[in-house]
Amino acid sequence: MKPSKLISRLIATAVSAQKNAYCPYSRYPVGAAILTESGRIFAGCNVENASYGLSLCAERVAIFNAVTRRQLGIRAVCVVANSAKPCGACRQVMCEFSTRETELYLVDLNPRTRRQKVRRTYVHKMLPDAFDPLSSGLLPAHPQNLIKARSSLSVQHRTGKARRKR
pLDDT in tens, the chain (166 residues): 456 999 999 999 999 999 999 999 999 999 999 999 999 999 999 999 999 999 999 999 999 999 999 998 999 999 999 999 999 999 999 998 998 899 999 999 887 887 899 999 999 999 988 887 777 777 666 554 455 545 444 444 444 444 444 3
Give residue 140's pLDDT: 63
Query: From start to end of the chain, where are the E strands?
Result: 31-36, 41-45, 74-81, 103-109, 116-122
The residue annotated as part of the active site, out of 37, 48, 59, 103, is 59
User: Which residues have C-beta within 8 Å of that of residue 92, sequence separation ≥ 6?
Assistant: 127, 130, 131
Compute the distance between CA of residue 39 and CA of residue 145 in angstroms, rounded to an integer.
18
CATH 3.40.50.2300 for the 5-127 domain, yes or no? no
Contact criterion met (CB below 8 Å) for 71 and 40 = yes
User: Which residues have C-beta within 8 Å of that of residue 16, sequence separation ≥ 6?
Assistant: 31, 43
User: Which residues have C-beta within 8 Å of that of residue 60, sequence separation ≥ 6?
Assistant: 44, 89, 90, 93
48 as an active site residue: the answer is no
Domain ranges of the chain: 5-127, 132-166
> Whose CA is closest to 96, among 134, 68, 58?
134
Give residue 166's pLDDT: 36
Give residue 158's pLDDT: 40
pTM for this entry? 0.81
